[in-house]
A and B are shown apart, each in its own frame.
Chain A
Amino acid sequence: MTIHILHSGLLTTLQDLGRVGYQKQGIIVSGAMDVYSLRLANLLVGNDEGEAALEVTLMGPKLKFDDDTLLAVTGGNLSPTIDGRILPMGRPVYVKAGSIIKFGACQSGCRAYLAVAGGYDVPKVMGSKSTYLRAGLGGFHGRSLQKGDVLSVQAPQETSLRMIQHFVKQHSAVSFVSTDWCAGRGQTAISSGRAIRITRGRQFDLFTEASKNALLTDSFRVTPQSDRMGYRLSGAVLKLAHQVEMISEGITLGAIQVPPDGQPIILLADRQTAGGYPKIAQVIAVDVAVIAQSKPGSLLSFQEVSVAEAERLYLAKEKAFAQLKAAVSLKLQS
């Protein structure tokens, strides 16, 4: 089973849930920017939720499928089509050999996930298929996909095979078949203008009162310099009350650090393992995906919550996801 890359798109990489356990050796976690969309895409094709999928950014690629393939696209709506017809998102789609999948205008969000039944056949490096661009590791030869690349697909698991059998029966003259239901509308992290929830950062108290207020009352624009490592924001200048000598320490996903120019940076999937800038806040885990789906140019505002509330939201999200998983699996069996 193979897929040909006819156009690379802006940045198309393989990502899973990240490279875990190597931060003490200086190796970044990487992984999908919007983990919920990645997990959902995998569930919809009968994969383990942590399998690698293609992370497609803003301007998507054009792909040709050499074989009949079961796939799913989730996350930001980058207008995917199959041979010119709209590819329905958030559901299993069975495409015929020779189909061409193309992404178009970015309608909502900015990152889509394309999972295929069986998963992409690339070797795991340090336990993960995620692409670590700067070190040239993992994913497809350690880099983003380019025109002319050929991706291989692994053999589908039992669950996927059952779905495929189901689809094959309906598959006749049409170029693709999909289910009449879709999943995860409520799960998608497309920003609705709601404030991003944060907890206080480790150095919150070191900032001036005006800066702490500005963080919670002003809006900040996502600049074009934003990438998988971090989202650079522009807005009110955040300042420390006194100059402090910081020493490097571990960095968490979603930490908001403030370099000397006073413009905050939200650290994301490709964040460095350690850093020495003061951290004013920490984006709660369930809202990191909302950041990941925010386009450059969009405005973000922040709302403070307690660590207890952040944890409650995390547990609630996982519970909802477990329910979604059960529902999808029921649907797939019926």
Chain B
Amino acid sequence: MIQLIPCGESAVIVEFGTGIHPEIHYKVMAFTEVLDTEPFLGMIEYMPAYASVTVFYDPVKVKNSQQESGRDQRKLSCEIVCSLLEKILGKLDDSALKSPRVVEIPVCYGGEFGPDLEYVAEHNHLTVDEVIQIHVSNQCLVYMIGFAPGFPYLGGMSERIATPRRITPRPAIPAGSVGIAGLQTGVYPITTPGGWQLIGRTPLTLFRPYNDSPSLLQAGDLIQFRPISAQKFEEYKEKSQ
């Protein structure tokens, strides 16, 4: 059941389900593709999440667009937006989705770049090499970007390397750090405090504020982690500078 719920007078949240599942995610992606290609008059932007899309709009512009087209002016802009969104939902076709982009993320595992790699191995009764092997074996799906600029919320990491967060968070995790928290894995785009178990670091820059698309990753991408040596890491870094 898809639900439309107004959040105050300038946003509507479209809820596609309640869990983290690829099927729900495909619906979210198909819906945002339509919003990208055919935004309605007065739409400001949207925010896709795991199972929902929050659509932000300007009530004045929505109302004016209704006046111009000679339609019922007593309608609330919220009602107008909901009926426009329902129309999109009515003809939503997630089978026509573009095939996902695969983004390769090189990671230098362990050592100073991944101080918690050994702990993750110990916790799961594995060797360090096995942890790396498992981490690079599954492609991870980017469900949404949030929390920090360019930060991906990923799904699809193997349960075999799931590890609880650190008891004491680190005051500063360097940008590019690849971590594990429970069943989640992810990459920190900017330096922030955090409690994730750090297993490695990528030389890629995930947040590029002066680029047309500031976030390297987008919702809907597939991530393929690939192990690299410390030497390769430095080479990448030099190239990107």
**Contact indicator B209/A125 (Cβ below 8 Å):** yes
**Cα-based distance from A247 to B149 in the complex (angstroms):** 19
Contacts of A311 in B (CB 8 A): 9, 59, 76-78
**Cα-based distance from A23 to B145 in the complex (angstroms):** 8
**Contact indicator A20/B44 (Cβ below 8 Å):** yes
Identify A307's interface contact among B8, B52, B215, CB under 8 A: B8
**Cα-based distance from A284 to B7 in the complex (angstroms):** 9
B211-232 CB mask vs A (1 if < 8 Å, else 0) is 0011100110000000000000
Which residues of A are in contact with B by a Cβ distance under 8 Å? 20-28, 125-126, 134-135, 137, 199, 201-202, 247-252, 254-255, 272-274, 282-285, 307-308, 310-311, 313-315, 318
**Cα-based distance from A307 to B213 in the complex (angstroms):** 34
Contacts of B50 in A (CB 8 A): 247-249
**Contact indicator A250/B52 (Cβ below 8 Å):** yes
Closest Cβ–Cβ distance, residue B198 to chain A (whole Å): 20
**Contact indicator B149/A307 (Cβ below 8 Å):** no
Contacts of B8 in A (CB 8 A): 199, 252, 254, 282-285, 307, 310
Contacts of B209 in A (CB 8 A): 125-126, 135, 137
Q: Which of A202, A250, A252, A318 has the most CB of B within 10 A?
A: A250
With A274-B47, A311-B77: A250-B210 Cβ-Cβ less than 8 Å: no
CB closest residue in chain B, given A272: B147
**Contact indicator A27/B47 (Cβ below 8 Å):** no
With A24-B219, A247-B20, A273-B146: A125-B210 Cβ-Cβ less than 8 Å: yes
Closest Cβ–Cβ distance, residue B214 to chain A (whole Å): 5
Contacts of B10 in A (CB 8 A): 252, 285, 314
**Contact indicator A307/B47 (Cβ below 8 Å):** no
CB closest residue in chain A, given B8: A282
Q: Is B48 an interface residue, CB under 8 A from the partner? A: yes
Contacts of B219 in A (CB 8 A): 24
**Contact indicator A314/B9 (Cβ below 8 Å):** yes
Q: Which of B32, B145, B151 has the most CB of A within 10 A?
A: B145
Which residues of B are in contact with A by a Cβ distance under 8 Å? 5-11, 13, 18-20, 32, 44-54, 56, 59-60, 63, 76-78, 144-151, 153, 189-190, 207, 209-210, 213-215, 218-219
Closest A-B pairs by Cβ, 8 of them: A250-B54, A274-B146, A250-B47, A25-B215, A310-B9, A311-B9, A282-B8, A249-B49
Contacts of A282 in B (CB 8 A): 7-8
Contacts of B210 in A (CB 8 A): 125
CB closest residue in chain A, given B52: A249
Contacts of A254 in B (CB 8 A): 8
**Contact indicator B76/A308 (Cβ below 8 Å):** yes
**Contact indicator A23/B51 (Cβ below 8 Å):** no
Identify A314's interface contact among B53, B54, B59, B144, CB under 8 A: B59
Contacts of B54 in A (CB 8 A): 249-252
CB closest residue in chain A, given B212: A126
**Cα-based distance from A116 to B60 in the complex (angstroms):** 28
**Cα-based distance from A310 to B11 in the complex (angstroms):** 12
**Cα-based distance from A25 to B18 in the complex (angstroms):** 22
**Contact indicator B146/A272 (Cβ below 8 Å):** yes
**Cα-based distance from A153 to B6 in the complex (angstroms):** 41
Contacts of A252 in B (CB 8 A): 7-8, 10-11, 54, 56
CB closest residue in chain B, given A282: B8
Contacts of A201 in B (CB 8 A): 7
CB closest residue in chain B, given A136: B190
Identify A315's interface contact among B11, B60, B218, CB under 8 A: B60
**Contact indicator A248/B49 (Cβ below 8 Å):** yes
CB closest residue in chain B, given A283: B8
Q: Which of A26, A308, A315 has the most CB of B within 10 A?
A: A26
Contacts of A274 in B (CB 8 A): 47, 49, 144, 146-147, 153
**Contact indicator A307/B150 (Cβ below 8 Å):** no
Instruction: List, sorted by A's number, 17 A–B pairs whose CB atoms are closer than 8 Å.
Output: A22-B214, A23-B46, A24-B45, A27-B149, A134-B148, A134-B190, A247-B18, A248-B50, A250-B49, A251-B47, A251-B54, A272-B146, A274-B49, A274-B146, A274-B153, A311-B76, A318-B60
15 additional contacts (CB under 8 A) given A125-B210, A274-B144, A308-B76? A20-B44, A20-B45, A21-B44, A24-B47, A25-B150, A26-B215, A135-B148, A199-B6, A199-B9, A202-B7, A247-B51, A254-B8, A307-B78, A310-B9, A318-B60
**Cα-based distance from A148 to B190 in the complex (angstroms):** 28
